[in-house]
Amino acid sequence: MSTELGPEHTMADTTEPHTTTEAITLGLHDASPQHLVDAMADNVELELGWGRLIFGQTFAEPTELAEALRREGPGRRDICIYARESHVLVAMAPHELFLDPSHTYRLRFTGEQQEAQKSPVAITVRSLRSIADADAMNRVYVRCGMVPAPTEVIWYNHENADAVEYLVAVRDDDDTVIGTVTGVDHERLFSDPEQGSSLWTLAVDPAASLPGVGEALTRELAGIFARRGRAYMDLSVAHDNAAAIALYEKLGFHRVPVLAIKRKNAINEPLFTPIPETVDDLNPYARIIADEATRRGIHVEVLDAETGEMRLSHGGRSVVTRESLSEYTSAVAMSRCDDKRLTRRIVGEAGVVVPRGRLATFDDGDHDFLAEVGDVVVKPTRGEQGKGITVGVTTDEELDSALARAREEHPEVLIEQRAPGDDLRLVVIDGRVVAAALRKPAEIIGTGKHTIGELIEAQSRRRAAATGGESVIPIDEITTATVAEAGWSFDDVLPEGERLRVRRTANLHQGGTIHDVTADVNPQLCRVAVTAAEAIGIPVTGIDLLVPDVTGEEYVFIEANERPGLANHEPQPTAAAFIDFLFPGQPGLPQAWTPEHAPG
């Protein structure tokens, strides 16, 4: 199980159910004895980049604490925890402060030193090794809808603040960062008499598709603090985050009566002001656009949550959108994208390389073409989300089945020579590539205990949870055939650590995963994508190419999507670029860091 927690549910607290001893321990936060207050540092504020952690128990005067919260900068999210009289503090500035609707959980360490358990299969939990790790942490934050932190802040804390502990979870095969957690040692930070610690910003990349990442990060951090002799580790989790709460309770956390206080700002608005229910009903592809517009002060009116239709308004400008499709995409451009045969002809005439292909005639001519090229892809000329597409057709029997499958989606079917390489999606907005990503077919990793069928079902549940139900692995004849081609059946137990691809196409709606390569893609491939978009006459599109190597220039055009899923490409600023296109000159919120923010 993995969890994705934003700063609004970031902090960790761990405790036994209420006992007399526990009540005395918590008394420090409500009415600290003076000798305990004197033993601590005064007015402790810890800069973490996305905002400050303000430790309320270190403030003797509530007026100073209130003023500290009111100093929050734009685009940041400060959190105050352990205020002695939270209700009084909020009452001092009710128009600016509010009680965070989160629960605090505590894991109390026993006398025996807690040992970190073995990480799940295929991942390793470790400390930061370079500033590139800090940058990768931010990618995970953004994918989870969290406020990122300047990499220099993360690296400064890692190098200079011994009270801050950053951990990352990385894939064993390519060292890609797929999860992160931040810990704070209260004893090292301000000589905490309670010997406490806390967990913050636990985040797992929703596209990671590996189980147990959040649990592994939490266990490793707890082990570090336990071995230092700390008494407990605290965290804060949104009251309605059932999955995260279930994980923490499984690990031995218990709720404690500790409150967090935040300042009313645009980022926190959903926590203190009810938002229209229809905004919550938007799928991730529309929601990312609504959130970006809201951050910029652009009014969002949901016209139809099911289809993702919204009206965005600012000043005298109003635009209707359906996810990344807007009024500025013409009906002609849409029709060109919708007909894959027409798209091929248009981009081919513009000099873009397209594979050999033919419109299926459902006779011997189709079989002759297969015999000539040896390996084909069969797809309906109209359709989306990979429906009706069969990849890797090499025999006459497979061709007949693939043609019938495609014909169920649309009467006209395209047969193309299959080109080698990986599926590269390039998002073009207003004449420039803003994101590039490799899309890979769904795969599972063996545990040595579960059958392939069980692993597929578990992986499908994780993909669905990570994408709001948008991505699942179909259990159909294609999945069955793909597994069989590799020499397995659904009832076989896959050995621990062994990877098995269970779909041929990389479509995200069929369980595929996406891997950002924006920094690595060859500029020539970007030029090809822009050329294709301009030829079609479409301002916002996803251009799909097959490439042997993203750093090379070799490619074959696959298709163009008139409504690319921008949420799939975080942390690249796809939603920001889309809003820039719709509302030129409307800036986003600044996120700056200066040396005076460095921890003391």
pLDDT in tens, 405-432: 888 888 888 888 888 888 899 999 999 9
- The model's pLDDT over 328-370, given as tens digits with 9 standing for 90+, comes to 999 999 999 888 889 999 999 999 999 988 888 888 888 988 8
Segment holding 345, helix H or strand E: helix 340-349
Indicate if the pLDDT at residue 595 is higher than 80: no
Note whether 454 and 404 are same-domain residues: no
* pLDDT tier at 315, thresholds 50, 70, 90: confident
270, 304, 320 - which closes a domain: 270
Asked if residue 453 is part of any domain, the answer here is: yes
Confidence of residue 323 (pLDDT cuts 50, 70, 90): very high
On whether residue 562 sits in a domain, the answer given is yes
452 within 8 A of 443, measured Cβ to Cβ: no
pLDDT above 90 as % of the chain = 45
- Asked if residue 532 has pLDDT above 70, the reply is yes
Top-confidence residue, 146 or 236: 236
Claim to verify: residue 146 and residue 55 sit in the same structural domain: yes
- Lowest-confidence pick of 87-101, 459-473, 505-519: 459-473
| pLDDT: which is higher, 436 or 10 | 436
What's the pLDDT score for residue 505?
73
Query: Residue 17: its pLDDT value, please?
Result: 28
What sign does the CA torsion over 429, 277, 266, 199 have? Answer: negative
Here the CATH number for the domain that contains residue 226 is 3.40.630.30
Can you list the positions of beta strands (E) in 464-532?
499-501, 513-516
| Among the listed residues 393, 514, 517, 506, the one whose alpha carbon sits nearest the alpha carbon of residue 442 | 506
Regarding whether 428 and 562 lie in a shared domain, the answer is: yes
CATH number at residue 530: 3.30.470.20
Alpha-carbon distance of 78 to 48, in angstroms, equals: 9
208/75 same-domain check: yes
Please count the structural domains in the chain: 3
The predicted structure's pLDDT at residue 408: 84
Identify the band that residue 467 occupies on the pLDDT scale cut at 50, 70 and 90: low
- Assess whether pLDDT exceeds 70 at residue 244: yes
For the cut 70, the answer to whether the pLDDT of residue 327 exceeds it is yes
Range of the domain at 368: 356-417
pLDDT value for 113: 43
